[in-house]
Structure 1
C-alpha cells in the first residue's frame, strides 16, 4: 500500500515525500487505519518494523494546530529512543502551514530552561522519558490534562527498565476519555495489569515481521576492530571494484567527512543528504545515471524511494539508528533478480541491534578482508559457543584445577600442576590402549 492512498493532510504528504516514503510497511498498513479510528491499540511487532510513523502520522492528522494546550504525550524508555521519535516528529512538523510545537523532555537536559519555556508556552506534542515528563507534570509546569492521545512506545523495555510505575503515574494524570496506544516488541505477562487498567476494549494486533531482503543479496558483517573506518572503507572499495556502490552513513556530518576522504583518495564519489539543495541533488542524480560516479555516500534520506539502477554493492558505515532503515538501505542492491552484496561495519556495542535484525529473519555472514580478498571468518559468538561445547572435566580433574587457581605456596602449585598433567597423561594412555585393543581385535576378525 502506498502512503498516497491514506487521506493525510497535504503537509503530511509533503513530509513523506521529503523522506521518500512511498510504500507503507506491514505494521503501518494494518495499524494506521485503526489509530485513525480513535481506537485504543496494543501493537506487537519487532524493532525496526516502522512503528514510529505508525503512530506519528495519525497523530499529526488529528492534531488541532490552533489549540494552545498539549494534545499528545509520548513516552519512550531511553533518551535515545525519545530523541529519535522527537526528530521524526520535528521532520513532519516543519512542513505544517502553522507552528506545531514539539518538545523533547529527557534526563540530562536543562530542566530550568524547559521550565522557563513552559511558563510562556505549552507544546502540542510532548515526547520524552517517563521520569522527566512526570517530574515536570508533578511540579505543575507541564500541563497534560488536555491530552487526547497517550502513546507508550517500547512498553516491554519500559517494564524491564523499571519505568512502568512512572508511566502509570503519568497515565493517572491524563483524562479518562483519551486514546491509549501501546507499542511493544513483546507483550509480557507482567504488562497485562497495566493494559487492563487503562485500555478500553483495545484492538490487539500482532505483526509477525517477515524479512524483505532479496535472496540474491549476500549480507556480510565486517568488524571494525577499532580501526579507522575511513581507511577501512577505502580498502573495501579497492577489494570490491563495484559497478556502483552506495555507502550509507547515519549523519550529514559523517557524510561530508567520508565524502571528502574518499574523494581525496582519487575515487569518483557523489554525496546525497538533506542539506543538498534540490537543484544540486537533481544534477547529482543525473550524473549518477550517466555513470559519472562509482560511489554514492548518502544518509537515510536516500534509503527509500530513490531507484538507482545498477547498484552492485551497499556498504553500511554503521548500523542505522532506526533499524527499519536497514532493510531499505540493503534493498538498494539485488534488485530485479540481480545479484548484490551488502556489507555492514560493526563494533561490539552493535551486538543488540544485530540480534534484533536477526530476529526478523536477516542472516549475516561474518567476513574479514585479508590480502585484498574477503574471507569467511569466525562467528562473533564464538567465545560463548566455545564455552558451551568445551570438553567437560571429570570430578577429579576439576578439583585439581580449582586447587591450582587458589593463592597457595609456589612449591604446592608445582605439585598441583604435575598432578594435573599426570592425570591428563594417564587419560591419554588409557585412551591409546583402548584404541590399540580395538585395532588388534578388528585385525583378528579380518583373518
Structure 2
C-alpha cells in the first residue's frame, strides 16, 4: 500500500515523496484515513513507528481550508519535551511546504515576546509543551475556544513527567467541539481514565503490544564491576561499527562525567541534559543530526524527544529505573525498519538484577548476555585521560576555602581567657556602689519585680519619681 491510497491530497503526496517516503507504516496506514474522517483516535504504538506523520499529514489536509485568527489557534499539539515539540514543528514545515499554513511553537527556554508575536499573527497549528502553553493562557495571550483538532502525543511520558494535571486543565478549557487524537506507547490506569474522559467513541489503533521493542533491534547485556563501566563502554565503542550512537545515563551528573571521560579519550561526543540552556541543547542536536558529532551522552530528556532516523547504536550506561524508559531509550535505534543494536551495561548488584528482571518481564524479550567481553588494558595515554576525567575529591574542594584549612603541626595556644563585657559583679557576689556609676541600684534598692530584658542592674532613672510640672 502506498500513501496515495490513504486519501491525502496531491500537494501533500508530493511533499511526502520529496521527503523520501513511499510506503506508510502500519500505524500511518490505519490512523490517517480515520483522522481524515473526523474520528477521535486512540493510538497505541511503540516509539519509532511513525506516529508523528500519522497525525501531521491528515492535519495539514484538514486545516488547508480555513484561516486562523489572532490568539486563536485552530489546532493544538501537546508534547512532553521541548525537543519533541521542535521535531514535530520540523515535520510540519517538511510536509506542509506546499500549503500556506501558519505555525507557532511554544516551549520553555525561548523569549516570551517572540512567541506572543507569533500568536498575534494567528496560528493554524500550535505546538506546545503544557507548562509554557498555560503560562501564555494565564497571561491572556492565548485563547483555546477555536481549537478544531487536539493532539496529545506521548501521553505516558506526560504522566512520567507530572504533566497530566496540566493536560487536564488544557482539555477542560477547549470549549469548542473538536477532534482528539491521543497517542501513547503504554496505557497505565491514569491514561485510560484520561481517554475515557476526553475522547468520544475513539477508534482504537494498536499496531504492537504495549511496551514491546522493535524486532529490528538486537539487545545485549554486559555485566561488569561498578568501577569498570566506563572502561567497558569505551571498549564497546571501539569494537562496534558505529555510525552514530546515543549513550543514556540515569542522572545529569553522570551524563556530564561520561561526556568528559569520552572527550578526553578522543571520541567525537556531545552531551544533552535538562540543565543546559535551550540554545545549547538545540545546537548539540543539530550537530548530532548532521553527523558533526558521532556520539551523544544524554539523560532521559532525549529518550523520546530525539528523532534521528538512522541511529545505529544505543548504550545504556545505567540500567534505567523504569522498564518503560528502557523501551523508549532503545527505540532511538532500529527505526523505520532499519537494523539497530542496544547494549545495557549493568553491575551484579541486587538493584540492577531486579531492574533487569522487570525489563525482561515487560518486553518479553530476554537480553543476550555477552560473556566474552574481556577488558583490555588501556595505553598510558588512555589511563591518564581517564584519571583526569575523575571528579575531584571532596577534601580538595574543601581545602580551597582558607577557613577550612588546618595545619597538621600543633600550634601554640594563644587564646586568652574570656573577659566580661562589663565590670559588674556576678549575681552571687555582693554589689557595691561606685562613685562613677550612680545609675546602678544596691541590692536592697532593687525593685521586687525584675525589668524584663535589663538584667539585675537597672538604671536609676527608671525608678526615679517624676514630679508633675506646675
After TM superposition, the score normalised by the length of structure 1 is 0.54
Contact 1:156–1:188 (CA under 8 A) maintained in structure 2: yes
Match 1:356 to one of 321, 331, 346: 331
Match 2:81 to one of 78, 81, 88: 78
Contact 1:221–1:364 (CA under 8 A) maintained in structure 2: no
1:324 CA displacement: 7.7
Aligned pair 1:325/2:325, yes or no?
no
What are the residue-to-residue correspondences of 1:30-429 with 2, within 5 Å?
30-69=30-69, 70-96=73-99, 99-119=100-120, 121-208=121-208, 211=214, 213=216, 225-226=262-263, 227-229=265-267, 251=286, 255=290, 257=292, 322-323=306-307, 325-326=309-310, 344=313, 348=317, 352=326, 354-356=329-331, 380-384=344-348
1:254 CA displacement: 6.4
- Larger helix share, 1 or 2: 1
Contact 1:221–1:346 (CA under 8 A) maintained in structure 2: no
Change (3 A) 1:150 1:347: same
1:198 CA displacement: 1.3
After TM superposition, the score normalised by the length of structure 2 is 0.52
Change (3 A) 1:113 1:7: same
Root-mean-square deviation over aligned CA pairs: 4.0
Determine the C-alpha separation between the residues in 1 that align with 2:52 and 2:314: 25
Change (3 A) 1:65 1:349: farther
Contact 1:220–1:344 (CA under 8 A) maintained in structure 2: no
Q: Deviations over 1:318-341 (max 9, x none)?
A: 999655824xx7xxxxxxxxxxxx
Q: Deviations over 1:324-374 (max 9, x none)?
A: 824xx7xxxxxxxxxxxxx537584998554336899998668xxxxxxxx
Structure 1: stretches of 5+ with no match in the other structure: 232-248, 259-296, 298-317, 330-342, 367-378, 391-447
1:214 CA displacement: 10
Q: Deviations over 1:219-271 (max 9, x none)?
A: 9669984444469xxxxxxxxxxxxxxxxx9757864858xxxxxxxxxxxxx
- Count of residue correspondences: 283
Q: Deviations over 1:19-67 (max 9, x none)?
A: 1011100111111111111111111111111000000011011114541
Q: Deviations over 1:87-118 (max 9, x none)?
A: 1112122222xx31111101111112222343
SS in 2 for 1:325: coil
Change (3 A) 1:357 1:40: same
Contact 2:84–2:305 (CA under 8 A) maintained in structure 1: no
Structure 2: stretches of 5+ with no match in the other structure: 219-239, 246-261, 270-283, 295-301, 321-325, 355-470
Contact 1:153–1:182 (CA under 8 A) maintained in structure 2: yes
Contact 1:319–1:344 (CA under 8 A) maintained in structure 2: no
Determine the C-alpha separation between the residues in 2 that align with 1:86 and 1:228: 34
Determine the C-alpha separation between the residues in 2 that align with 1:214 and 1:356: 8
Change (3 A) 1:71 1:162: same
Q: Deviations over 1:110-144 (max 9, x none)?
A: 1122223433x111100010111122123221222
